Amino acid sequence: MKTSVGKTKLEIAVGDITQLEVDAVVAPASVELWMDHGVAAAIKAAGGEAVEKEAVLQGPIKVGEAVITTGHDLKARWVLHVALSESTPAVDAAAIVAATRAALAAAERAHARSVALPAFGTGGGGFPLYQGASLMVTEVAAYLREHPRTALRHVMFSVYGDAARAAFKHALVGLSRF
């Protein structure tokens, strides 16, 4: 499923975010920026310990903020680390919206033309998948409409499994109706 907002293509990629051919990948984390769970752990495993070390030196940050590190051994040039929670894995809607916006703003600061975002908070964070997908897709669209001169040309929602793909497809279909 693909759609566009302005000049930016939005699509779903099923599989390993670390293998995507994008300028930047997003690593969800706590405010301390440790990469020891979920997608962040996968990014650290593929990119090397240096990704986490570089991030932690910039923390702690507030929930909904982002920092940029190099991708080290990843295909992506940049890793955008967003804080989704204080220290517990629980995530709320406001954090997902703020982290989505912060990730896109960080992508712009890095001059990225393409970025891959995982499904924020829907794994270990326990947030409902369909609601999380809807929040993220809606916020990406809002950001792109507010920034029509963005350099971002490709936003990928990197997901695992059929349920996540279906949730993001549902959100993108809803977006394309407007």
Look at residue 176 and tell me whether its pLDDT is greater than 70. no
Q: Which whole-number Å values give the CA distances from 144 to 52, 114, 131, 157, in the listed order?
A: 29, 13, 20, 15
Segments in 35-87 forming alpha helices (H): 38-47, 49-56
Average pLDDT over residues 82-111: 93
What confidence score (pLDDT) does residue 88 get? 67
pLDDT in tens, 1-60: 789 999 999 999 999 999 999 999 999 998 999 999 899 999 999 999 999 999 999 999
Q: Contact, 28 vs 82, CB < 8 A?
A: yes
Pairwise CA distance, residues 140 & 121, whole Å: 16
What confidence score (pLDDT) does residue 101 get? 98
Q: Contact, 83 vs 29, CB < 8 A?
A: yes
User: What single DSSP character describes residue 127?
Assistant: -
Q: Contact, 141 vs 55, CB < 8 A?
A: no
What confidence score (pLDDT) does residue 102 get? 98
pLDDT in tens, 104-161: 999 999 999 999 999 999 988 889 999 999 999 999 999 999 999 999 999 999 999 9
Q: Contact, 27 vs 157, CB < 8 A?
A: no
Topology (CATH) of 2-176: Leucine Aminopeptidase, subunit E; domain 1 (3.40.220)
